[in-house]
C-alpha cells in the first residue's frame, strides 16, 4: 500500500526543528559544550574517532552530542562526514609476493 506524503520541504524543516528540540532537552539545564564532552567523556571520544576513522576530537565530540550519547550512531555520523572530505594523499601498492614474515603474532 502506497501513501502519499504531503508537506515537502516545510515538513522536513519542521521535523529537523523537532529533532533539534528533543536533542536539546530541558532549556533550564545548561547546554553541554564540545569541550566538556571531549574532556569528561574522553574514552567515548577516542572510540568514536577510532571507529569512525577520523582523528578530530572536536568532530567526534560533536557527533556524540548530535547522537545524544549513542556511540554507535556517533560513529556512523562521523563515518558519513568523513566520506564527504577530499583525499589528500595516496600510496603506492606493495608487492606482497616478495615479503617475508619475520615474526608471526598470534
pLDDT at 5 over 70: no
Q: Is residue 49 part of a domain?
A: yes
Q: Distance from CA of residue 86 to its chain's centroid?
A: 17
Q: Is residue 37 part of a domain?
A: yes
Number of domains in the chain: 1
For 85, residues 6+ apart whose C-beta sits below 8 A from its C-beta are 54
Q: Is residue 4 part of a domain?
A: no
pLDDT at 2 over 80: no
99: cell is 615479503
Using one digit for the tens of pLDDT, what is the confidence trace for 41-89? 999 999 999 999 999 999 999 999 999 999 999 999 999 999 999 988 8
Q: What is the pLDDT of residue 76?
A: 98
CA distance 8 to 48: 33
Question: How many CB atoms sit inside 10 A of residue 64's CB?
Answer: 26
Q: What is the pLDDT of residue 73?
A: 97
Q: What is the pLDDT of residue 4?
A: 66
**Domain that includes residue 78, residue range:** 31-84
Amino acid at each position: 500500500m502506497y501513501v502519499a506524503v504531503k508537506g515537502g520541504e516545510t515538513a522536513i524543516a519542521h521535523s529537523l526543528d523537532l529533532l533539534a528540540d528533543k536533542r536539546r532537552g530541558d532549556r533550564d539545564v545548561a547546554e553541554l559544550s564540545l569541550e566538556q564532552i571531549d574532556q569528561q567523556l574522553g574514552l567515548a571520544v577516542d572510540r568514536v574517532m577510532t571507529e569512525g576513522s577520523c582523528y578530530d576530537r572536536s568532530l567526534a565530540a560533536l557527533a556524540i552530542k548530535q547522537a545524544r550519547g549513542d556511540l554507535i550512531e556517533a560513529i556512523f555520523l562521523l563515518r558519513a562526514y568523513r566520506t564527504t572530505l577530499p583525499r589528500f594523499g595516496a600510496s603506492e601498492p606493495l608487492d606482497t609476493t616478495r615479503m617475508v614474515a619475520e615474526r608471526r603474532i598470534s
